[in-house]
Chains A and B, each alone.
Chain A
Amino acid sequence: MSWLFGKRSVAEPARPPVRRSLALRGLLAGLRPGPRHAVLDLGPPVADNIEFLAGLSCRVRIVDLQRSLAAETAEKTAEGAMAALLERLLPVEPDERYDALLAWDVFDYLRPDQVSSLMGRLSPLWQPEARALVLLSTGRKIPMKPVRHRILGLETLGEEGLRQPTRPGPQYSELQLARMMRGFSVSHRVLLKTGMQEYLLVRGAGLGALAAPTSGNAGPPSNRTWFRKR
């Protein structure tokens, strides 16, 4: 009877919140025309994301970094020991160069030295003008585990796991982000209603690196005004 009264029945599962993500759109638009792209996803495996990216001729590497680090001992994740751990978590394949990084909100669950170690490990593996999508919480509290992001469209994201126990968040600033992600520069940012700051970063040329849309409506608008400035 839900169709009649317009209300969701009790048994019907609640749909996860859906939001627009122009950073995702910008990131996907940056995938250069070519036979295959490589995308590095630091979040948990989500079948929708893999299928969506496969439709864009992408090969996706899943790391599930927060879960992988949580499974390790404190000694292995300590400062100075991360390099050895990342060698195991992120084996380098000879010809693999990444076009895009989907970091989601994983950096909020890492120490600055861990992020720097990760980016150092990845530094020789980027394609020129590789792009990265990063979400950082501006609030003091963050969910206990990273939110699961589900790509539902070229600029549409579903978010699962927003309502869960919280823990203190690091409240990384843009300056800290720039220090942790050397070689990348913030191209666009937008503050979401949830208190998350969404960043699109581009490796190398910085602001001028955003190319015009490659085809159809897959690209971002031609200027940067589509993002609200903080």
Chain B
Amino acid sequence: MWNKRENETMPSSAETPQAVVASSALPPAPRRDASGGIGPSISIVGDITGEEDLTILGKVKGKIDLPGYNVTVGESGRVEADVNAKVVSVAGEVHGNLIAAEQILVRKTATMLGNLKAPRVGLEDGCCFRGSVDMERPEKGRVASAPLPRATVPIAPAKPASPLPVTTASGGVMAPKSETAPVRS
């Protein structure tokens, strides 16, 4: 009588081992929210691969291959590498080609020398950029050997649109694109 509740709440002996076995058999799930960083005083020469977002504030020379993850080059970051990622944001200096499955954003503080390829590319006015921009679906293995995640590749916009909020150099708002805008000859 006194053990009635105890018996109800106790799991059956047959379930517990199965659950333990099942969880231990799975590979550890990638931590999507994880991120790594390269500090301002760190220099790396070589290739970088992994399964987490990366923020670079130091120097990297080589190749960065993080398909499906975000790469951020901070203002103090100096990168001489081809980068393959899901989203690439550049506020520092990059010499190399960037391929992103979703988006590339070059901030106004950035110095970007290289070619950009992504479905969406945003260049803030005032940035230093020299290279080509190709807003096309990335091809497999153009820069990096690892395939890009198909599920994260959106279709390129069919008409000129402004999906990215880009401010003008003076901090103003861009004039809307309109065929009916008042014009002067």
Contact = CB atoms under 8 A, between A and B. Distances in A.
Interface string A86-127: 000100000000000000000000000000000000000000
Given A54-B160, A59-B133, A89-B130, A48 B174 contact: yes
Contact of A51 (B129, B162, B178): B162
Chain B residues touching A, majority SS: loop
A48 B161 CA distance: 8
A96 to B, nearest CB: 8
Given A152-B177, A158-B175, A18 B130 contact: no
B185 A19 contact: yes
A interface majority secondary structure:
mixed
A15 B128 CA distance: 24
B130 A63 contact: yes
Given A13-B172, A18-B175, A47-B123, A153 B130 contact: no
Contacts of A203: none
A59 B184 contact: no
Interface string B153-170: 000111111101010111
B20 interface: no
A160 B168 contact: yes
B132 interface: yes
14 contacts: A13-B172, A17-B184, A18-B175, A36-B136, A45-B125, A47-B123, A51-B162, A54-B133, A55-B159, A61-B132, A62-B130, A89-B130, A152-B176, A160-B168
A60 B123 contact: no
B171 interface: yes
Interface string B120-134: 011111011111111
Q: Kindly list the 8 A-B residue pairs having the minimum CB-CB distance in the complex, ordered from nearest.
A: A13-B172, A55-B160, A54-B135, A52-B160, A61-B132, A20-B183, A45-B129, A47-B166
Nearest to A52: B160
Most buried by A among B127, B160, B177: B160
A193 interface: yes
A77 interface: no
Interface string A179-216: 00000000000001100000000000000000000000
A62 B129 CA distance: 7
A76 to B, nearest CB: 15
A62 B132 contact: yes
Given A13-B172, A15-B175, A68-B130, A156 B124 contact: no
B185 A193 contact: yes
B157 A50 contact: no
A133 B168 CA distance: 23
Contacts of A51: 121, 135, 157, 160-162
Given A13-B170, A13-B172, A68-B130, A50 B123 contact: yes
Contact of A18 (B121, B128, B159, B183): B183
Nearest to A158: B175
A47 B130 contact: no
B172 A47 contact: no
